[in-house]
Structure 1
């Protein structure tokens, strides 16, 4: 892309590469960054997110959808084995949270590929500080897949749902959580996968630029999805789901109560 820009605009490829880096660095100061990647914590912000998600499939109380994405990297010089994921290539396991408008509201991009999604979440500030300390208003939830443990603030699908409320819940859960899968696909189209592979240190800046594009209504470039023939990790998770016995019992009981309250109908 830089070579094409060089041909079209005149500056050398090296100059274009340098300008891109300088621009990203300039835009990524903490005060500016906080304007474009921020997790909703106020009653006004969380209520707006709930309404936006509710419009997708009628799932109440959702303020974000979460998933992990493995970004391929070259073998690091140190601790290379820790970066080998379940599919036997080196990667960084990146945790991403999207809102209903496909904007990134939280991201963690510093864990090796061998780390399980649930471990990353457990060590992340969302678990320890945001939800753990009650900073977010009550009855606010994230939706995650079965690779995450059930929590009072993290709702996961039933592995073997019973007909009725559990099936209703799973159906709405799947449709609502698909936002994160489509969001990751949009990122792959906006930024070449090869660029993400080679520039993982800049991943946070790419997410920031993506949010700016969403705010400014800058569309995703047309063309093929540059996945280099790789399988979509969002559709085929790299980590095996945690076994139900390993889940916190409190989260499972809360999910059952939530389902019986909100999905106990014949639809």
Structure 2
């Protein structure tokens, strides 16, 4: 017995060989598998290196680069199996720990705010408005807003609050895009049962508009699930004049930006397409990190893996209340009056 114990003690642990992924694949293959090119992967690895590097090299410690690649592969596919099946030499339990550690390092205000910022400088605002106006001649737009549901496994706490109107568990994510499909703002911490208008009424971006942090003449564009306000333009549910009908057509065409933008985000990171099997707090981190990485991909001009940058996504918005119910959802009368004035000012028929 003693001899067997000594042999067992001397037996060396065997580790799977880990390939040098960054040098094994070219940029096109890296983007296909991990959604970022070599430069982008190194960039975010350097950003979180201190937070995720193992303190020692004992037990064949996983490098910071490998941890980032494992996390990116999970976000790109939404599955654990590819994370340990890409010759990375990482067992699935280890991959789960690695992903959790790396997401915690990325889901920080420092990283998120580096890539997701709402325009506040005059030059940036004017450029954003001009780009939106090129779509359908709708003036003053600085962002297109909508909500999208991210499916999650039934949480252990407050389970009923996460059941949305389509009867599955989700987080309702509010997102704002610019005309180039870059994310300007995202709120990802509300249960699926919460309506879009409630999320908007309590978000920081609305407070910025109310407090005048953004100059006059700036507004978002959203569907009828939102209250019409001077800084959030919604369509007429029953247009009564040709001017209102023209406004609605321009509004719909311009607002398609957010539908396509959410489609791009979910196509790029498939983890957002299926059911995320973690608790709501971790899901929020996943959504925020995916949003920031989406913008990084935009900055680096990286195309979607299949080469299709436009995809109308499904299940974007909530029920659309009628005009009378809008007041009960907090819609101020001055918003409706402002919209009428806006239409008379910008959508008069050509003489």
**TM-score calculated relative to the size of structure 2:** 0.68
Correspondence 1:97 to 2:176: yes
Q: Distance in 1 between matches of 2:91 and 2:131?
A: 42
- The equivalent residue for 2:111 is 32
Counterpart pick for 1:210 among 282, 286, 294: 294
- Structure 1 residues 4 and 39, CA, compared in 2 at 3 Å: closer, same or farther? same
Cα displacement (A) at 1:163: 3.7
Correspondence 1:220 to 2:298: no
Counterpart pick for 1:248 among 325, 329, 332: 332
- The equivalent residue for 2:230 is 152
Runs of 4+ in structure 1 off by over 6 angstroms are: none
Q: Distance in 2 between matches of 1:233 and 1:125?
A: 24
Matches within 5 A, 1:91-170: 91-128=170-207, 130-170=208-248
Q: For the pair shown, which has the larger CA radius of gyration, 1 or 2?
A: 2
CA contact (8 A) 2:151 2:274 kept: no
**SS of 2:229's equivalent?**
coil
**SS of 1:198's equivalent?**
coil
Correspondence 1:81 to 2:160: yes
CA contact (8 A) 1:196 1:203 kept: no
Correspondence 1:175 to 2:253: yes
Cα displacement (A) at 1:253: 0.2
Deviates most, 146-155 or 40-49: 40-49
CA contact (8 A) 2:237 2:322 kept: no
Deviation track 1:182-228 (CA, whole Å, cap 9, x = no partner) reads 0111111111135663352321111011111111111111299xxxx
**TM-score calculated relative to the size of structure 1:** 0.88
- Structure 1 residues 26 and 112, CA, compared in 2 at 3 Å: closer, same or farther? closer
- The equivalent residue for 2:315 is 233
Deviates most, 10-19 or 210-219: 10-19
Q: Distance in 1 between matches of 2:108 and 2:159?
A: 31
Structure 2 unmatched ranges of 5 or more = 1-76
Q: Distance in 2 between matches of 1:10 and 1:114?
A: 39
Cα displacement (A) at 1:257: 0.3
- The equivalent residue for 1:228 is none
Structure 1 unmatched ranges of 5 or more = 225-230
Deviation track 1:127-163 (CA, whole Å, cap 9, x = no partner) reads 22x1010000110010000011100000000001124
**SS of 2:186's equivalent?**
strand
- Structure 1 residues 122 and 214, CA, compared in 2 at 3 Å: closer, same or farther? same
- The equivalent residue for 1:12 is 90
Q: Distance in 2 between matches of 1:164 and 1:80?
A: 47
Q: Distance in 2 between matches of 1:21 and 1:220?
A: 25
CA contact (8 A) 2:176 2:186 kept: yes
Q: Distance in 1 between matches of 2:101 and 2:108?
A: 12
Aligned length: 260
